[in-house]
Structures are given as C-alpha cells and as structure tokens.
Amino acid sequence: MRSFALAPLAAACISLAAQAQTSSGAATESLDKVVVTGNPLKSQVLAQPSDSLSGDQLTLTRAATLGDTLQGLPGVAATNFGPNASRPSIRGLDGDRVRILNNSGASVDASNLSFDHGVAIDPLVIDKVEVLRGAAALLYGGNAVGGVVNTLDNRIPRVFTSGLSGAAEVRLGGASNDRSGAVVLDGGSGQAHSGVGWHVDLAGRDADDQRAPRFDIDGESRSRVRNSAAQSHGGAIGGSVFFQGGFAGVSLDDFHTDYGTTAEADVTIRMQRQRVATAGEWATASGPLRRIGWQVSRNRYEHTEFEGDEVGTVFKSRGTDGRLELEHAALSTPFGPLKGVVGVQTESLDFSALGEEAFVPGTRTRNTGVFLLEQARLAGVDWTAGARSEKVTVESDGGERFGAAQSRRFRPLSLAVGGVLPLNNAWSLSANLNRTQRAPAYYELFANGLHVASAAFERGDPNLGMERSKGADVGLKWEGEQSHVHLNVYETRFANYIALQATGESVEDEGESLPVYAFQAVPARLRGVELEGRWQAHPAVALLGQIDAVRGNNRSTGEPLPRLSPLRAMLGLEGKWGEWSGKLEWRGAARQTRVAQFDTPTPGYGTVRMSLARQLRWGQLDALWYLKLDNLGNKLAYNATAVPTIRALAPQPGRSASTGLQVRF
C-alpha cells in the first residue's frame, strides 16, 4: 500500500490559514441547517423521518466507510463486508432499495451489485450527510423505497463567501491503525450578486489489517481480520459564478482506493471513480416561476479485482444523471395557498464485467422520471403530496453464459401523501402513506454465475415484473429547548419483493459444491419501531437513549427476510464543561435468531465507547482535538446484517484508541 504524507498536508493548510486576511468561517459551518434531501421547498418540518450529521458531530462519528459512519443512527445499519466495504442498510433494506447520492445527484459505483464493492465516496471530505428513512421514491425513483443517503460537500459552492476559509484534519489510531488526513480550502471574491467562488480538497488514508478480539476460524485462532488493509486518496476542484438570484458552478473529483476483500487471503480490489458535475439555481421573489434548479453529473467508475498480482475481473460503469426542478409560486385554492415543484430526472448507466467472476453480462439501463410535489396547510395540518412516473429500460448484451441479448421495459408509478400536525409548541404528530413501484435492477434480471461475495451461484430472472409496495409511517415528536424525543413506527408490505432465494440445487466449482440462489418475487412484509431521545438533565450534562427494531418475513412461508438487524439499544451520557466535552456510550444488539434459510443466528453483544474533545483557539485558528476509545471491554461481536460468507471472518473491531486534530479558519 502506498503511504500518505499527512504532516505536509496539515502544515500546508495551517500555513495558508495564517496568511489569510479575511475569513468567512469553515465550509462545514456554512451549510443550511434545513434538511435539503427530499425537501426542494425547504420546509422547516418534514413528515418523513430524517437525520443529519455535520460539524463536530460528524467529525467525531466519521469512520472509514459511509456505512460505518451512519450505523449508529436510528434504523440505520451497515452491511460490513469487512472494514473496507460497508453500505448503509435502512429499515432492513439495502442494495438497490437504498439510494446513495452525492450532492443530491447519483453516485455511480458497483456497491449495490455486491457486498464486497465499496461505496465510491470518501467520508473524510463530507461536510454533511442526510438520511431519509422510508420510501423517498417521489424525488429519487423507485430504488429509494428503503430510504436515501445524501452526502453533501462544497465542491460546487452554492453560497457566496468572500476571502479564504478552510479546514485540515489528521487522524491516527483505531483498530486498523489508521493514518488519514484531509485538507479543504474555499475562497471567493467579488459580491454575492456578481462574484466567484472556488473549492479545493485533498484527502488520503492508510490502514493496516483490523484488530479484533481473539476469534477462531477453522480451528485457527486469530486477532486480526485477514486481508483487510486499505489505502485511498482523492481530491477535487470546483468553482461557481454568482449572479443576481443564483449561481452556476462545476466540479471535478477523483477518488482511488485499494483494499483487501477479507473473504479471500490474496484478493484485493483497486477502485477508481472520476466525476464531473455541474449545478445551478436561479430564484426570484415575484412571478409565477419562483425557482429553477438544475444539476448534471457524469461518472466514470472502474474497479479491478486482483488475485495476488494477476487480474481477475474488471468491472466498469459509466453513468450520467440529470435533474431539473421548477418551483411555482403559491397558488390560491379553496383549501389555501398551494406551493410546489415539478421536475424531470434522467439517468443512464452502462455496466460491463470482464473476467472469471463476471456473473452479470454487459448491460445498459435508461431511466427517465417526471415528478410533482405539492404542499399546503389545511385544517392545521401541513400536507405534502406528490407523484412520480418513470420509464425504465434495461438491456443485456447477452453472451455464451447469459444467452441471447434481451431488453425489458418498465413504467413505475409512485404516489405519496404525508402530513404534520402540530399539537402544541413542543409536540407534533406526523404520518406518511406511500405506494412505490421499482423496476428490477440489471443483476436481478440477468445474473447467471458464481458470486464469490455470497459464495453461491446466482441466477437472475429476465421475466421479473416490477416490485410493488405500500407503506405507512407514523411519528410522534417532542422538541424542548435542548431536549427531544422522536418515535416512529412503520410497516411496508411488498406484493412481490425480489429476494435472493435458495433453490435447493448446487453446482460444482473447483471441486467444491456451491448452492444455487435465484432472484424470485415473493410477498413480504417489514415492520419496525425507532425511538430516540435526549434529556438535558443539567446545563452541563445530557442523557441519551435510543432503541430500534425491525421484523421482516416472506408472507407466504413465514421465513424471515435475510440480513435483518436485531433489536438494538443505546444509552449515553454527554457532558460539556467550557472548552471540554465528553461522551460515554453503551451500545447493544440482541441475539438475532430470526434468520433466512442457510443463515446462522448471531450472538448478542454490548460494547462501551468513550470520547473526549477540546475546542482550541490559536490566533485566528479554531481547532478541535479529540480522543476516542472504542469497545473498551474488547467484546467479540458479529454483525447480523453482514452476509454469512464474511460474518465469521470479520468480527467487529476490538479495543482501540484513536486521536485527531481538526484545524479551521
């Protein structure tokens, strides 16, 4: 693995900060506090459950992967194919049912195809991440039936700031002995209605094999997760022109990572992703058209799987995503003012896989969607309703293993309505109803081959129809000055949930018998509860608590759906004394005995972690120093949401200490 020079990065940023004559605050502090994901009308209150991480909270939560960064949020778990490939799972749904976005645009990679494929987003340079729990198909398509994860950064400046600002961070330690760092610089000149802004960022990470509590594999005792070292580096440049009422900008980013797959001792993945994006907005306070927003991105993704020094399989994706939103002025209706947005979104994805383990043929996916979202206040309730119609085409190139070339066309239609009823100044009640249709993904239709990540022969079904679901979500919130309680209960019923089911057949591969799994449509149901709260018991001390649970099953057979998170709970104590802050937290997961066929139960566990942080001030520089102690009891723990082939090979990290310093100006 190549080393990453952290010290020069930090020194360069601190030097730039000392030379800066004006400062507008770090980019991480300039983000609007309003949730932007699924909220084009910028409402202060959303009917759909959502969470966000930014600022110091994100700094102290940030992990090597997006899934591990978010898995402490209510209803959010991680797929954990070792420490280097971990995608978020929301309310028991993962893969093509959870949409991962970058600045509200598509993030093209192959992470939904296989659990050992990492998400091509570096958490080190994220300014904010937002999570919508539950169906968000209206704005983002049927493959957001489980939810949306939107990573936000300032690579295309959207708010004008003058002068120079930025941040640098160095992180050391942890169970993988991480050495990572990042530099972010933002600048601007001119005025808000006639100025320019620019952005530069650079980040990198080196990590060794992850340490774990001692565990046994095939009679061998281990204290490290084999082949789990990683290296990554990346950067971006961007700029915007600001004019009266809006902006237009462009960015270019490049991300590379090289990591061990853990499942096999000598298999590594070398991934690269380049992305060019443009975005802009124009708004006015008068006239029937109040805002025009647009964004277009072009992604080039490639990863190569190596067996030792030999090239095994090469995966390539080329994707384009475009979006246009038109917000109209409030319309007078018998029910009161009606404001809304209409939009169109287009996506294209060209995928290919070449090599021994290419279990999916070359494919092309085209998706065009039009959507309408309207808001009104009626009888004291803030209502939101909308619809989305899509046209999806999925084509296969075919091949010797995959048969003749084929093409499938789908017309998904999704509807949703939700409302928020304020009960008083502190309490509010929310509810959502949705009907979602999702076109099958290319691998669900056309897969036919050995999939090493699942240790199975996977077979798609080119005759699959659309996945159809209906869902309901009810929430109750209490918001105090510094305290809150949030409760959500939900249920989603699928008429034909596309599941990877064991067929009872087997195939021989290099003398080993492997099971055959097929993508099949089955009736299914998911239901769950999420409870999270904070009580400011004293000006310096707060108590934290959280619990979530999800149950899912095949309604025909009663068999549990695969990879569901068990009952989870968290209890915490948070304190702040002047420039010092600290947190003590216990997180536990119950034993998961409701498992799919051929899976095994996962033992329960409880771990304790601590963090300590101090705000510092050096001249014109603000800084945050932090120390984190994880899994203090060195408890052996396994993740129930990981696929069975990797779970026993990659337990959760053992006892570790890490420290970091973030400098802002």
- Token pair for 278: 């443009």
CA distance 206 to 179: 5
Q: Does residue 425 have a pLDDT over 80?
A: yes
How far apart, in Å, do the first and last CA atoms of the chain sit? 32
In a domain? residue 272: yes
pLDDT in tens, 279-294: 999 999 999 999 999 9
Q: Does residue 161 have a pLDDT over 60?
A: yes
For 244, counting Cβ atoms within 10 Å of its Cβ (0-12 exposed, 13-18 middle, 19+ buried), the class is: exposed
In a domain? residue 124: yes
Can you give the C-alpha Rg of the chain in angstroms?
Answer: 24
- Asked whether 82 and 260 are in contact (CB, 8 A), the reply is yes
Per-residue pLDDT band for 108 (boundaries 50, 70, 90) equals confident
Phi-psi region of 24 (alpha: psi -120 to 50; beta: other; left: phi over 0): alpha
Kindly state the DSSP code that residue 21 receives in the 8-state scheme: S
- Token pair for 524: 């299914």
Q: Of 3-17, 324-338, 571-585, which has the strongest mean pLDDT?
A: 571-585
CA distance 142 to 149: 14
Q: Does residue 251 have a pLDDT over 90?
A: yes
* Confidence at residue 645, expressed as pLDDT on a 0 to 100 scale: 86
CA distance 82 to 651: 8
CA distance 276 to 250: 7
Q: Does residue 1 have a pLDDT over 50?
A: no
pLDDT in tens, 633-648: 999 999 999 998 899 9
Instruction: Mark out the alpha helices in 342-394 (DSSP H runs).
Output: none
SS3 of residue 388 by DSSP: strand
What is the residue range of 458's domain? 6-664
Q: Which is nearest to 455 in space by CA: 198, 179, 649? A: 649
Residue-wise DSSP of 478-525: EE-SS-EEEEEEEEEEEEEEEEEEEEEEEEEETTEEEEEEEEEEEEEE
In a domain? residue 1: no
Per-residue pLDDT band for 80 (boundaries 50, 70, 90) equals very high
Residue-wise DSSP of 42-56: --SS-SS-EEEEEHH
Q: Does residue 663 have a pLDDT over 50?
A: yes
What is this structure's pTM?
A: 0.92
pLDDT in tens, 16-39: 333 333 333 333 333 446 788 888
Q: Which is nearest to 360 in space by CA: 440, 267, 270, 451? A: 451
Question: Which residue bears the tokens 């270019």?
Answer: 252
Question: Which residue bears the tokens 């067929």?
Answer: 503
pLDDT in tens, 520-532: 999 999 999 999 9
* Confidence at residue 515, expressed as pLDDT on a 0 to 100 scale: 87
Residue-wise DSSP of 599-625: ---B--EEEEEEEEEEEEEETTEEEEE
CA distance 72 to 78: 9
Please, which residues have CB within 8 angstroms of residue 398's CB and are 6 or more apart in sequence?
361, 404, 405, 406
Question: Which residue bears the tokens 């998706």?
Answer: 367
CB atoms within 10 A of CB 300: 15
CA distance 416 to 397: 36
In the chain, the number of structural domains is: 1
Measure the CA angle with vertex 156, ends 43 and 298; round to 5°.
105
Is the CA virtual torsion 39, 45, 49, 55 positive or negative?
Answer: positive
Indicate the range of 34-43, 354-363, 596-605 predicted with least confidence.
34-43
β-strands 98-102, 147-152: how paired? parallel
In a domain? residue 277: yes
pLDDT in tens, 546-567: 999 999 999 999 999 999 999 9
pLDDT in tens, 327-354: 999 998 888 899 999 999 999 999 999 9
Instruction: Mark out the alpha helices in 259-394 (DSSP H runs).
Output: none
CA distance 170 to 152: 21
E-strand stretches of 226-337 = 230-243, 246-260, 267-283, 289-307, 310-331
Question: Which residue bears the tokens 């200490």?
Answer: 657
SS3 of residue 424 by DSSP: coil
pLDDT in tens, 128-137: 999 999 988 8
* Confidence at residue 510, expressed as pLDDT on a 0 to 100 scale: 72
CATH code of residue 303: 2.40.170.20
Mean pLDDT of the chain: 91
Residue-wise DSSP of 413-462: EEEEEEEEEE-SSSEEEEEEEEEEEEPPPHHHHH-EEEEGGGTEEEE--T
CB atoms within 10 A of CB 97: 25
Residue 529 pairs in a beta bridge with 489, 549
pLDDT in tens, 177-236: 999 999 999 999 999 889 999 999 999 999 999 999 999 988 899 999 999 999 999 999
- Token pair for 659: 């420290």
